[in-house]
Structure formats: structure tokens, C-alpha cells
Amino acid sequence: MTDLDCKKVSNFFKALCHPTRMAIVIELLDDKRCVNDIGELTKVSQPNISQHLAILKADNIVDWLQEGKTKCYFLKNPRLIKSIMRTLEKSVSKKF
């Protein structure tokens, strides 16, 4: 893996490491969600959700589309995220 690849992978996992961003990603596993919906589901304010979504977007984890006046977000590679989540669930459950 080149240094550039290592940096991309590192940034990808850094983006997922925050509890709020992880909660957002988990909510997006099922389907796309609009910002207000994500806020209600995660119990986080809309401005804070927007900041976290910007980080997830910058690291190519999510993308968005416009629906009326609202932005709705979705996972760019849901199969990859689901695979990572399954691996984490197995790993974490064995340690605790």
C-alpha cells in the first residue's frame, strides 16, 4: 500500500471513529436519510449533524442528493460499510 493509500484508509477510519458519525452511518445502513431524520434518530442537533456529515462526505463515506429543500444522505459503498460493521460486531463481542 502506498503512502497515499495509507492516508486515505487512515482518514476513512478516523471519520468512522467518532460516536456520532458511527451512529449516522448505522442509520444510513438501512436507507438514505434526510438531515432532519438523522437528527431525530440520533438525538443530535441539525448543525452538529451537518458538521459530521461534511466529514463523512469529505472521506467519501456518504454522498447526498437534493429532495426539495432538503439534502438526503446515503452510503457510497454500503456493502463495504456492512462488511466492516459485521467484522467489528464479531470482534467486539469476543472481547467483552
Above 60 in pLDDT, residue 26? yes
How do residues 47-86 score in pLDDT, each as one tens digit?
Answer: 999 999 999 999 999 999 998 988 999 999 999 999 999 9
Taking the C-alpha atoms of residue 15 and residue 19, their distance in angstroms, rounded to an integer, is 10
Question: Can you give the pTM of this predicted structure?
Answer: 0.86
Range(s) of the domain holding residue 16: 3-95
DSSP 72: E
- The lowest-confidence range among 39-43, 58-62, 90-94 is 90-94
| C-alpha dist (Å) from residue 81 to 28, 55, 60, 74, 89 | 10, 16, 12, 12, 12
Above 60 in pLDDT, residue 96? no
CATH of the domain at 88: 1.10.10.10
How many domains does one find in the chain? 1
